Amino acid sequence: MVREAISRGLHLTRTVTASVLKPKALIFDMDGVLVDSEPLHKRAKEIMFGEVGFILPESVYDSYKGRPDATMIPEVLGERGLSTDQIAEWLHRKHQIFEKIEHEMKAVPGAADFVSWAKTNYRIALATSATARNREAGLRLLGIGNPFETIVDAGRRHRPKPDPEVFQIAMRDLELNPQDCWIIEDSMNGLRAAKGAGCFAVAISTTFDGESLKAAGADVVVDSFDVLKQLLESR
């Protein structure tokens, strides 16, 4: 089955047969897929919430992975009775903290080479919850310029993941149907959005374990971009 699941680095949640069309486009998430930024975002939020005066359990952070700060922070602080103005100040504070530590951010291994390879074989798009500022910083880190045919970030979408809107906008830009697109994600919320958009969902296990990703709806789980490239070349 697909070369013994590409030497065990590929975990199939359903048989990838000829009925699964070779994609015309690959749509990438950014945080956790192309850049290993999730730990830094979490640390910045932990510092900020600590300054507010409380500690959140790990399960809360996990439940918000793949969703923007502008969703998590108002919901968490609103539940604790803070005003709209106070929430806006703390949201800004989180951004300040992140910008001080973002120099520690690293590219996901193999991401830059894979995007460059994908550009020569598929149409490619970026669909991220990141702000325009953080998206630009992530792409600078990759050092590949802007190879994407279209980009959808926080400034172009109104509803955060797990709503599929961010991917629907990308497909509309590309003028492609869901069956033409594979979406590459790392979080449960992102995978739910991908499946809500009607696309084939590839999960890369940079942020969550394979079983959690399968449970969230991943069609396949890959351990690395090398494995994903082999899977695509086998189509």
Report DSSP letters for 8-75, one per residue. HTEEESS---TTSPPPSEEEE--BTTTEE-HHHHHHHHHHHHHHHT----HHHHHHHTTS-HHHHHHH
> Is the same domain home to 179 and 134?
yes
Same domain, 6 and 114: yes
153 and 219 part of one domain: yes
Q: What is the mean pLDDT of residues 136-149?
A: 95
Give the pLDDT score at 158: 87
Report how many domains make up the chain: 2
For residues 186-206, average pLDDT:
97
In this structure, the answer to whether residues 115 and 186 fall within a common structural domain is yes
pTM: 0.89
What CA–CA distance (Å, rounded) separates 124 from 96?
A: 31
Indicate if 121 and 181 belong to the same structural domain.
yes
The residue segments making up the domain with residue 89 are 38-104
pLDDT at 12: 64
In sequence order, what are the residues at sequence separation of 6 or more whose Cβ sits closer than 8 angstroms to the Cβ of residue 27? 124, 125, 126, 127, 167, 170, 171, 181, 182, 183, 184, 199
Q: What is the dihedral of CA 56, 207, 211, 152, to 10 degrees?
A: 100
177 and 187 housed in the same domain: yes
Which three-class secondary structure state does DSSP give residue 80? coil
Q: Quick one: 133 and 143 in the same domain? A: yes
Select from 130, 155, 162, 153 the least CA-distant residue to 63: 162
81 and 117 housed in the same domain: no
For residue 166, pLDDT beyond 90: yes
Q: In terms of domains, do 161 and 120 share one? A: yes
